[in-house]
Amino acid sequence: MKKLLLGDHAVAQGAYEAGIKVAAAYPGTPSTEITEYAAQFEEIRSEWSVNEKVAFEVGLGSSMAGGRALVAMKHVGLNVAADPLFSFAYSGVNAGLVIAVADDPGMHSSQNEQDSRYYAINAHVPMLEPADSQEAKDYTMLAFELSEKYDTPVIIRLTTRIAHSRSFVEIGTRKEFDREYVPDIRKYALVPMNARGRHIKVEEREKQLAKDVNSFDINKVEHGTNKIGIVCAGSIYQYVKDALPDYSVFKLGMVYPLPIEKIKEFADNCDDVIVIEELEPYIENTLKANGIKCHGKELTGLQGELSSEKIKEIILGEKITTHIEQVPVRPPVMCAGCAHRGVFYVLNKLKLIVTGDIGCYSLGCAEPLNAMHSLICMGASVSGAHGMEMAKGKDYSKKNIAVIGDSTFVHSGITGLIDAVYNKSNITVLILDNSTTGMTGHQEHPGTGKTIKNEQTHALDFAALSTACGVKNVAVVDPYDLEAVEKTIKEQLEKDGVSVIVAKRPCVLLDKAPKLDCVEIEGCKKCGICLKLGCPAIRKNEDKSVSVDSTLCIGCMICEKVCKSGSIKKVAGGSK
């Protein structure tokens, strides 16, 4: 039987068939669907971990115990999990451990476009890169075998176009896998004297693998009539087949270590070799270091995604000319009825300096709210605000607020909060608690009271947690109540010590019931203040009055609260 699966799904399907016992991840586009898919299988204990480091450690625990495990994350998540990655690479595995990491060239939904392949080199961990969903499944299954054979975690690298493309996958059956747990202090307890011994093992296995990889059949040569040879992997292979059908191609299945001998042989039979790869010149530089002459980044550049169109342009000089329409841009926006909107309206109104974080509320930095001034990485809102307070002092921090979502707070905000209290800071932290991990598509987290399998569990109480961390000033507020939001923020900013405000209201998309309310505008005075909310349901008419799109409006009434002329009223009949 075949199924049309996302690359992400196929990784999970492969892991399922390989008999994994455990799947753990923190959601992150474009990797989220891996673990969502794995969670459907009863045989797999799956979890949303609080962050990628924890997910990795759950995976390594399962591996040590003798159960195969899959850990998934986006590229920046691997930064968070780098600590266990580098050390467990020394320990090696008992049952196989596979890490699926999804890079995002072009930054469709990320804050940078780092290249995860360097983690493989740096941690001395093998890395495979599939070029479609079938390969995503096959390579994942192979990765478990390699993990056990070479005694190492193995990374499957995806990019957005593989993770989020669907193609057909042949579905197989699950084969159970279980190993005995065997205590082995020298292997797993990495005190320096043991780690030194393990480092020798790492080098030995890597040497062996670098030799063996030359006979792996996932590295393929396709001879074409054109004697220019292209070396590529992943989605680039597909673009090359579309753009340069008659070229000779070396398709890499394993990107670390590279099959140098096999590529040398290929290069010897080509008139010229071009490496086509997105992001960093990793393959190119490795080939050059091994004496293989090739072209690469001087042609393709370091930024963004490639495509068959770009490859045709770069290699063949064939540029598709088409009229580029000048049309208004359509950036993502907070949904109509989003509870974050009013909060950012208030932050803007109060002219605060806002250190922000990662989630739907990142959109608070966009027009017209313009109320978030930094977004660096998960959790940096809290510790960053503390650093600003350290640099500029207590009075300054009365104009500064850290804004962080509930899921992000659990991921990396709690440590920063404890740090701020411990170090006698005076910051104010606003937790936007919408009871979900919103941007990645509504995943549960420790604050929601539900597991990935939708089972009831303990719900973390942010207010009580803050108190336990030593925060003296804790307040909870409804973000739809703008007056209360403004009053609470002003009060907490004035207080000495660390303050926490929890703005709590579930994401408007979680409620699937038909929306029965809507607003109506009558007697608009054309002041335009409601437009400062940036609600997609309100639009400006030619005569500068405003009107409401009843297909989008859900009747949250935030606009009514900012309207100074009382022209906005609730009526029945919203979007159904």
Partner 1 sequence: MKLNILIVGVGGQGTLLASKIFGNYAMLINKDCKLSEVHGMSQRGGSVVTYVRIADKVYGPLIDKKQADVIIAFEELEALRWAGYIKDDGLIIVNQQNLYPMPCIIGKADYPTDIYERLSNYKASVHKINALDIAARLGNLRMTNIAVLGFACAILKLDKPTFIEAIKQSVSAKTLEGNLKAFEEGFGSV
Positions touching partner 1 (CB under 8 A) are 2, 4, 6, 29-30, 32-33, 108-109, 132, 161, 164-168, 235, 238-239, 241-242, 307-309, 312, 320, 322-325, 327-335, 360, 362-363, 366-368, 439-441, 528, 531-532, 534-536, 538-540, 544, 549, 551-552, 575-576
Measured CA to CA, the distance from residue 165 to residue 141 in angstroms comes to: 19
Measured CA to CA, the distance from residue 21 to residue 176 in angstroms comes to: 9
Token pair, residue 230, equals: 């292209």
CB atoms within 10 A of CB 532: 16
Indicate the residue among 370 and 451 with the shorter CB distance to partner 1: 370
CB atoms within 10 A of CB 546: 22
The minimum distance between CB 503 and partner 1, in angstroms, equals 19
Q: Which ranges constitute the DSSP H helices of 29-116?
A: 32-38, 52-65, 75-80, 82-91
Q: Report DSSP letters for 295-314, one per residue.
A: B-HHHH-SSS---HHHHIII
151 contacts 205 by C-beta, under 8 angstroms: yes
CB atoms within 10 A of CB 90: 21
Measured CA to CA, the distance from residue 436 to residue 510 in angstroms comes to: 8
Indicate the residue among 85 and 524 with the shorter CB distance to partner 1: 524
The minimum distance between CB 368 and partner 1, in angstroms, equals 5
Indicate the residue among 425 and 440 with the shorter CB distance to partner 1: 440
The minimum distance between CB 438 and partner 1, in angstroms, equals 8
Q: Estimate the crossing angle of helix 282-289 against helix 260-268, to 10 degrees.
A: 80
The minimum distance between CB 163 and partner 1, in angstroms, equals 9
Q: How many residues does the chain have?
A: 576
Encode burial over 330-362: b for 16+ CB neighbours within 10 A, e otherwise: eeebbbbbbbbbbbbbbbbeeebbbbbbbbbbb
Using CA atoms, how far residue 405 sits from 102, 383, 490, in Å, is 23, 14, 20
The minimum distance between CB 538 and partner 1, in angstroms, equals 7
Indicate the residue among 308 and 467 with the shorter CB distance to partner 1: 308
The minimum distance between CB 222 and partner 1, in angstroms, equals 12
Amino acid (one-letter) located at 62: S
284 contacts 228 by C-beta, under 8 angstroms: no
Token pair, residue 574, equals: 């919203």
DSSP-derived letter for residue 366 is S
Indicate the residue among 148 and 444 with the shorter CB distance to partner 1: 444
Three-state SS at 227? strand
Which phi and psi angles does 38 have, rounded to 5°? Answer: -60, -35
Indicate the residue among 175 and 539 with the shorter CB distance to partner 1: 539
Indicate the residue among 78 and 97 with the shorter CB distance to partner 1: 78
How far the first Cα of the chain sits from its last, in Å, is 38
The minimum distance between CB 380 and partner 1, in angstroms, equals 18
Indicate the residue among 68 and 411 with the shorter CB distance to partner 1: 411
The minimum distance between CB 535 and partner 1, in angstroms, equals 8
The minimum distance between CB 144 and partner 1, in angstroms, equals 26
Indicate the residue among 46 and 440 with the shorter CB distance to partner 1: 440
Indicate the residue among 245 and 393 with the shorter CB distance to partner 1: 245
Measured CA to CA, the distance from residue 363 to residue 360 in angstroms comes to: 6
Using CA atoms, how far residue 341 sits from 371, 379, 475, 532, in Å, is 10, 21, 19, 10
The minimum distance between CB 247 and partner 1, in angstroms, equals 13
Indicate the residue among 338 and 388 with the shorter CB distance to partner 1: 338
The minimum distance between CB 565 and partner 1, in angstroms, equals 18
